[in-house]
Amino acid sequence: MAAVEQESAARPPRPLWRRVVGPAFSVVLVVAVYAWFLPQFTSLSDVWTAIDAMTAVELVVLGLAAIWNLATYQFVMVTTMPGMTLRQATVSTETRTAVSNTLVGGSAIALGLTYAMNSSWGFSRSRTSVSLLVSGLWNNFAKLGLPVLALALLAFSAPPTAGRLLAGALGLAGLAAAAVLLWVALRSRASAAALGRWLARLVSALLRLVHRGPVTGWDRALTKFRDRTVLLLQARWHWLTLATLVSHLSLFLVLLLALRFVGVDSAQVSWTEALAVFAFARLLTAVPFTPGGLGVIELALITGLSAAGGERAEVAAAVLVFRLLTYVLPIPIGVVTYLFWQRNRSWRRAPNTAPRTELVPETV
């Protein structure tokens, strides 16, 4: 451990251009989507007309769906964080979402904030690490699985094309490979170590192509991951799977309601087509080009739903309403939950004093 810390301390800082290029690219991308693409794609006055035509009842239903979507974030956290209450999970997840949605590199900042919050409530860093690892893993499983599910549903509603079949096969192969790797990692300490060594050799071979040194210690890292997570996953994998699916599908529900309420009916874009576009757009967020996928998600959804048959102005209106409720709305809520955490002392505990659980070994 000391050697790793010395190596990290001795590592030179990244050049200035590398620190600037990421934020600059994010700004250029967002400006290009909103200031150039959207006005070129459709009439902004027609977009506003479609939004303004929604009834009060439709706005209330959309608001309730958006609130429910935000509430589902907590289900995953309480499942992966034994001992945490729903109220604590709400404060943590909403604050983390607000930070991720507003700051370039916000995911890393939100990660540190999560550790700080959980530590203030007495949870160990080990338990927080397990929660973040497992929830992130299942979230990526869902991102891989939803496109496969959507393409399978489309195959029953329309003749499958070669492109759909290829995309479905690739997605299914990726999902199956990830599931097999996870099973091998959790099977035993020996299999986890063997998998770590194999992955290290594979990655090292790829790094040699770009003249980078080999990676080491992956066998120990994967064994440690297995020791930390195996009991939790054996006990709660089904609840975690259900909570993750509910969270992703609740987000899709907000999009589908927005489409229907602005006038995009099922004759233009069926719910299965909308699910397919949504799933592939969500897959793009696996690479954090911009905070919260700003610009990237809008571009993918608008072009995909329009290609499926939706009117351009109505599709753009639905996507903007969807992003207002799922990207913008969590920001002020997250500010409130952050201030609540700062001021509220009744939940505070000394570090590592939260009730212990057998599902997450604290000493591993």
Question: What are the structure tokens assigned to 193, written together?
Answer: 């170590």
d(CA 352, CA 63): 38
Tens digit of pLDDT for each residue in 269-311? 999 999 999 998 988 877 777 888 888 899 999 999 999 899 9
Q: For residue 8, is pLDDT > 70?
A: no
State the average pLDDT over residues 215-229.
Answer: 86
**pLDDT value of residue 14:** 62
Region of poorest pLDDT, from 106-120, 245-259, 279-293:
279-293
Query: CB-based contacts of 281: which residues, under 8 Å, 6+ apart?
Result: 296, 297, 300, 301, 304
Q: Exposed, middle or buried: residue 278 (CB in 10 Å: 0-12, 13-18, 19+)? A: buried
| Residue 286 CB neighbours (<10 A) | 11
Q: For residue 253, is pLDDT > 90?
A: yes
Q: For residue 10, is pLDDT > 70?
A: no
What residue type is assigned to position 214 of the chain? Answer: P
Query: CB-based contacts of 178: which residues, under 8 Å, 6+ apart?
Result: 140, 141, 144
Dihedral sign (CA 154, 249, 318, 327): negative
d(CA 75, CA 332): 21
Q: For residue 134, is pLDDT > 80?
A: yes
Return the percentage of the chain with pLDDT > 70, whole number: 89
pLDDT-derived band at 21 (thresholds 50, 70, 90) equals: low
**pLDDT value of residue 2:** 40
Q: For residue 218, is pLDDT > 70?
A: yes
Average pLDDT, the chain: 85
Question: What are the structure tokens assigned to 195, written together?
Answer: 């998998």
